[in-house]
Amino acid sequence: MRLTTKGRYAVTAMLDLALHSQHGPVCLADVAVRQGISLSYLEQLFARLRRADLVRSVRGPGGGYRLARNIDSVSIADIVTAVSETIDATRCGSKNNCQDGEVCLTHALWTGLSDHIAQYLQAITLQMLVDDNDVQTIAERQGKISLKRMDPGLALTPEH
């Protein structure tokens, strides 16, 4: 399988957007701080996500990005595919030419694995992740950390 940083970061950024979009458009700089992802890298990913109609940009003061679809209709596979990631565990890229132009001994095994991974990622939506208690706890912690990074006096610690 070839799920690289690009796919992982795209999923993370889209989940961050889903978690924070109830207050309006989300600024990529805020996502970058919360998730520890370079702003320029996020801009590249969001250009692809926009072309795939997963996000919309909002210009002007208070602008940023919004989800283009309901979070219950955006699968993780949609996001991974939008940033040109492949979900393919074969050595040949599913071209059936793994060994001297022919199918290798384990081609069917890796094709089956690829199919299972694709089905799994297609079955998971942003809504499912947003509803997960662990995800909500982590998002809350990240929000506190990002506030401290922006202005240490703004974030309340658990002692307060």
Kindly tell me if the per-residue pLDDT of 30 is higher than 50. Answer: yes
Print the domain residue range for 135.
5-86+125-150
The answer to whether residue 108 is domain-embedded is no
Length of the chain (residues) = 160
Q: Is 112 exposed, middle or buried (0-12, 13-18, 19+ CB in 10 A)?
A: exposed
The total number of structural domains in the chain stands at 1
The answer to whether residue 53 is domain-embedded is yes
**Count of C-beta atoms within a 10 Å radius of residue 134:** 8
pLDDT digits (tens, 9 = 90+) for 80-121: 999 977 778 888 877 888 878 888 899 999 999 999 999 999
Question: Which of 30-34, 94-98, 137-141 reaches the highest mean pLDDT?
Answer: 30-34
Quick one: how far is CA 82 from the chain centroid?
A: 10
The answer to whether residue 158 is domain-embedded is no
Instruction: HSE, CB side, 13 Å, CA atoms: give it for residue 67.
Output: 24
The answer to whether residue 10 is domain-embedded is yes
Confidence band, pLDDT 50/70/90 cuts, at residue 159: very low
